[in-house]
Amino acid sequence: MKKVQLTETVLRDANQSLMATRLPYADYEGILSDMDKAGYYSVECWGGATFDSCLRYLNEDPWERLRGLRKNLPNTRLQMLLRGQNLLGYKHYHDDVVEKFIELSIKNGIDVIRIFDALNDFRNIETALNATKKYAKEKTIASGCISYTQSPVHTVDKYIEMCKELKTMGFDTICLKDMAGTMSPYEAEHLIKGIKDAIGDMTLILHTHCTTGMAYMTITKAIESGIDVIDTAASCFSGGTSQPSTETMFYALQQYGIETGLNEDIINKVNDYFKPVKQKYIDNGQLNPKSLATDAQALVYKVPGGMLSNMIANLTDMHAMDKFDAALAEIPKVRADLGYPPLVTPLSQMVGNQAVTNVLIGERYKNISKEVKNYIKGEYGIAPAPIDPELSKKVLGDAEPVDCRVEDQKRTGEDFAAAKEALGDLCRCEEDLMSYICYPDQTLKFLKDRKAQEENEAVYTIEEM
């Protein structure tokens, strides 16, 4: 019997795409033991923006969250999304930091590490891959991930070459990450047939979003073309900028006689659990119904869900929502100027912010963000196509672009030494150090709060006795 497995994304990508990753662990702990019996290929639950959000907004230790997930989902593959050399941050880290991060992620419970580079510059995912192999446990899977986008330089042949390269590098599975939901059924068919021919029986995964309304058609074509795993979200957290619905795909696949391994009662129970959770965030405004709509304009703008909800949030904060359409229209122009980078973190934020800046100031590139300057200098890797020469000259002057790997390969331990010194006795474990290296300000505040809270609790306990 033909088999297609499902990865449940409600805890990570659906949460990230629909409500800017503000779902606290406490809101879903109660359903985890049921989710463990659902029969998913994996549960995507960590990485992406969850780490940042835990420290910045939720006053949660992301590592503790991971250990909680591990404890309550003992039989399920726990999956994370990792931005290659950027880990879960927005800049390149040194190789020794990347290695330690992977070691700790596996130690604390991660099974599947889906690794991508925003530019598909695979030199930027090699260190993470090698570390995953080095610290791998029995169930560990290193998944090589391609950031899918369309541009004059992103052809089917180019994607097939990329997949061959990921296979040669030693990845266990390959994922096509269509973060903007712009992959059409036609493209999925040609792409997936071509890739399957090239990589043989290696597991191929499709990750897409409903943003443009094409996802169900695209997934159906992907299934007909030989896809092995698809990403879906519990139906009440599906659609819009999120993934297609788990129960819907289960129902459709069942009629085709395709086995999913899912337990129907449990996936329904999971969805029932999340209904009031969703309602709570609609009521308090953290889940903007705009994220739930279909927006075919994204076919032009190639904007991923998370980027759209962030842009709405930022422009609302600045009372500049009237500039939303103009900012959206500026995005593809900025993207072309920068050599058609796929719009995925951190490039999506960089391109998005630059587009907003260009529109708000009313003059293009009058202000260029530090990140965009660094990108043009070559610090993020090689752009898919040449950068606009005028813009390049404006940033580089007469200087030559740099090779990002030269800096990344330094293994001086300096990041760990600096973190130790900054944290002093606030630091209790390597995980604290790693949080600080990734998000220094947020982590310092979090650890200070933790200490203060514990001292208060200690006083309280003594008085009570």
The CA distance from 88 to 54, in Å, is 12
* Token pair belonging to 26: 């406490």
Strands 112-116 and 173-178: unpaired
Q: Least separation, in Å, of the C-beta of 13 and Co ion?
A: 4
Whichever of 132 and 147 has its CB closer to Co ion, that residue is 147
Burial of 242 (0-12, 13-18, 19+ CB in 10 A): buried
Binding-site size, Co ion (CB under 5 A)? 2
Q: Which stretch binds Co ion (CB under 5 A): 8-16, 64-72, 268-276, 451-459?
A: 8-16
Give 5's strand partners. Answer: 229
Q: Which stretch binds Co ion (CB under 5 A): 13-21, 37-45, 333-341, 412-420?
A: 13-21
Whichever of 215 and 331 has its CB closer to Co ion, that residue is 215
Q: Least separation, in Å, of the C-beta of 288 and Co ion?
A: 18
Q: Binding to Co ion by residue 178, rule CB under 5 A?
A: no
The CA distance from 436 to 57, in Å, is 15
Q: Least separation, in Å, of the C-beta of 18 and Co ion?
A: 11
* Token pair belonging to 169: 């590098």
Q: Least separation, in Å, of the C-beta of 291 and Co ion?
A: 13
Q: Least separation, in Å, of the C-beta of 209 and Co ion?
A: 6
Q: Which stretch binds Co ion (CB under 5 A): 18-26, 174-182, 288-296, 313-321?
A: 174-182
Q: Least separation, in Å, of the C-beta of 394 and Co ion?
A: 33
Whichever of 13 and 111 has its CB closer to Co ion, that residue is 13
Q: Is the dihedral of CA 89, 94, 96, 98 positive or negative?
A: positive
Exactly one of 8, 13, 27, 61 binds Co ion (CB under 5 A); that residue is: 13
Q: Least separation, in Å, of the C-beta of 42 and Co ion?
A: 14
* Token pair belonging to 109: 């419970």
Q: Which stretch binds Co ion (CB under 5 A): 9-17, 97-105, 191-199, 392-400?
A: 9-17
Q: Which stretch binds Co ion (CB under 5 A): 5-13, 94-102, 251-259, 454-462?
A: 5-13
Whichever of 69 and 206 has its CB closer to Co ion, that residue is 206
For residue 159, what are the CA distances in angstroms to 95, 120, 190? 27, 10, 11
Whichever of 180 and 427 has its CB closer to Co ion, that residue is 180
Q: What stretch of H or E contains 317?
A: helix 305-317
* The residue to which tokens 């795909």 are assigned: 249
The CA distance from 417 to 433, in Å, is 9
Residue 72 in contact with residue 29, Cβ under 8 Å?
A: yes
For every residue of 67-105, DSSP letters joined together read HHHHHH-TTS-EEEEE-GGGTTSSS---HHHHHHHHHHH
Whichever of 195 and 215 has its CB closer to Co ion, that residue is 215
Whichever of 132 and 211 has its CB closer to Co ion, that residue is 211
Q: Which stretch binds Co ion (CB under 5 A): 117-125, 171-179, 353-361, 405-413?
A: 171-179
Number of H helices, E strands in the chain: 21, 8
The CA distance from 347 to 353, in Å, is 10
Burial of 455 (0-12, 13-18, 19+ CB in 10 A): exposed
Q: Least separation, in Å, of the C-beta of 9 and Co ion?
A: 7
User: What is the binding site for Co ion (CB under 5 A)?
Assistant: 13, 179
